[in-house]
């Protein structure tokens, strides 16, 4: 069956069928749209996106490059991307880099070879430099991690100010009575990120900033578990821990519980992200929430607006908020 056959069976023009198939059906009645879709479904008609792309220069497919599919934070962003893309007639190809810079570049090349109309991209912790991204001509929206791209017209950004979130987390612990506040975060955290937020808050609070209070490794449970142990060996008086994400906080809570250290009575712990697991820890984790679903939807809509309507890409900062539970 061809698109011409679908048009004849549905009693509409080829142009109308094309608009329905490509998600450009805003001016088509619901009845006509449903009739065309029924004919397509009844005949199991499947479009060849790449073949269509060769003709129209559009595939209605976007890509999402994510660094760690195991981390619950990223699937929530992916869900937002897919929900928004589906609503607008686009498909999504997902590529996981496992935080490998080499695989990251491979993913970008793979998506370009598939003629995707645009890419949503989260940089690996020690991944590609800004130049390698800005040289990609495909429209890109960067999410989660800041990359300095000098305001290229084909690059937008959607992120949460985690520097501010960590700053507020540190202040929150101080207001809760903590005086010896530690940081457990990523080794690749730079002074534009979590580390800077913590240091700035400690300085503003007139609290000492010292190496004995900082442990940097990876964004995972193991880092939280090991980091809490190492820090407490060096500094027995720690009474608050700021964590670079919720996975780190979960690991820290495990270590403290195993060593009969009470949370929040002895040490208060605060996370960042508000992944679904943070509501099932013991005690339940207090955390700064990043609106991951909104990040994904905003990124997808921004990218598709650029692809379909030529609307400018821009930098969008979304708000975090504090979720009070039991660990603070």
pLDDT score, position 2 = 82
- Which is nearest to 122 in space by CA: 203, 59, 68? 68
Number of H helices, E strands in the chain: 12, 12
pLDDT score, position 1 = 74
pLDDT score, position 48 = 59
Residue 131 has pLDDT above 60, yes or no: no
% pLDDT > 70, the chain = 90
Roughly what angle, to the nearest 10 degrees, separates helices 221-234 and 246-258? Answer: 50
Q: Which CATH superfamily is domain 162-289 in?
A: Response regulator (3.40.50.2300)
10 Å Cβ neighbour count for 190? Answer: 11
- Which is nearest to 197 in space by CA: 212, 181, 178? 181
Q: Look up the CATH number of domain 3-47.
A: 1.10.260.40
- Residue 241 in contact with residue 269, Cβ under 8 Å? yes
* pTM of the predicted protein model: 0.82
- At CB < 8 A and 24+ separation, what contacts does 23-29 make? 23/60, 23/88, 23/89, 23/90, 24/89, 24/308, 25/89
Please indicate whether the domains covering 3-47 and 162-289 agree at the CATH topology level: no
pLDDT score, position 209 = 92
Give the residue, 135 or 322, on which the prediction is more confident: 322
Spell out the domain ranges in the chain.
Answer: 3-47, 56-160+292-320, 162-289
pLDDT score, position 113 = 86
Q: Does the domain spanning 56-160+292-320 belong to CATH 3.40.50.2300?
A: yes
Tokens 């202040």, residue located:
171
Q: 29-49 pLDDT, tens per residue?
A: 999 999 999 998 888 776 655
How many alpha carbons lie under 13 Å from residue 293 in its C-beta half-sphere?
4
Distance of CA 152 to the CA centre of its chain: 21
Question: Whole-number mean pLDDT of the chain?
Answer: 90
Q: 144-199 pLDDT, tens per residue?
A: 876 665 667 889 999 999 999 999 999 999 999 999 999 999 987 555 689 999 99
Mean pLDDT of 190-213: 89
Beta bridge partners of 286: 270
Q: Where are the beta strands (DSSP E) in the chain?
A: 61-66, 91-96, 118-121, 140-143, 155-160, 181-186, 214-217, 240-243, 268-273, 286-289, 315-318, 321-323
Q: How confident is the model at residue 26 (pLDDT cuts 50, 70, 90)?
A: confident
pLDDT score, position 27 = 85
Residue 52 has pLDDT above 60, yes or no: no
Mean pLDDT of 105-132: 80
% pLDDT > 90, the chain = 73
Residue 54 has pLDDT above 60, yes or no: no
- Residue 208 in contact with residue 267, Cβ under 8 Å? no
């Amino acid at each position: 069956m061809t698109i011409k056959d679908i048009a004849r069976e549905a009693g509409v023009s080829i142009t109308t069928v094309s608009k329905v198939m490509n998600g450009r059906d805003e001016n088509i009645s619901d009845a006509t749209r449903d009739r065309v879709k029924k004919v397509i479904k009844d005949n199991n008609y499947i479009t060849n996106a790449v073949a269509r792309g060769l003709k129209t220069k559009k595939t209605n497919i976007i890509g999402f490059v994510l660094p760690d599919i195991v981390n619950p934070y990223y699937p929530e962003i992916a869900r937002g991307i897919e929900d928004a893309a589906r609503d607008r007639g686009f498909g999504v190809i997902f590529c996981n880099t496992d935080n490998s810079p080499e695989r990251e570049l491979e993913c970008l090349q793979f998506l370009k070879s598939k003629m995707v109309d645009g890419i949503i991209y989260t940089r690996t912790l020690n991944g590609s430099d800004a130049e390698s991204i800005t040289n990609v001509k495909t429209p890109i929206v960067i999410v989660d991690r800041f990359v300095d791209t000098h305001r290229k017209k084909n690059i937008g950004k959607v992120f949460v100010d985690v520097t501010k979130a960590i700053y507020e987390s540190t202040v929150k612990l101080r207001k809760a009575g903590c005086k010896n506040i530690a940081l457990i975060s990523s080794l690749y955290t730079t002074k534009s990120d979590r580390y800077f937020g913590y240091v700035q808050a400690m300085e503003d609070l007139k609290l000492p900033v010292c190496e004995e209070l900082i442990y940097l490794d990876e964004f995972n449970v193991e880092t939280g578990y090991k980091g809490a142990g190492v820090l407490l060996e060096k500094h027995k008086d720690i009474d608050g821990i700021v964590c670079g994400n919720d996975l780190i906080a979960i690991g820290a809570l495990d270590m403290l519980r195993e060593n009969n250290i009470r949370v929040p009575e002895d040490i208060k712990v605060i996370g960042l992200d508000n992944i679904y697991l943070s509501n099932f820890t013991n005690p339940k984790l207090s955390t700064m929430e990043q609106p991951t679903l909104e990040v994904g939807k905003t990124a997808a809509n921004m990218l598709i607006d650029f692809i379909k309507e030529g609307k400018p890409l821009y930098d969008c900062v979304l708000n975090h908020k504090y979720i009070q539970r039991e660990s603070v």
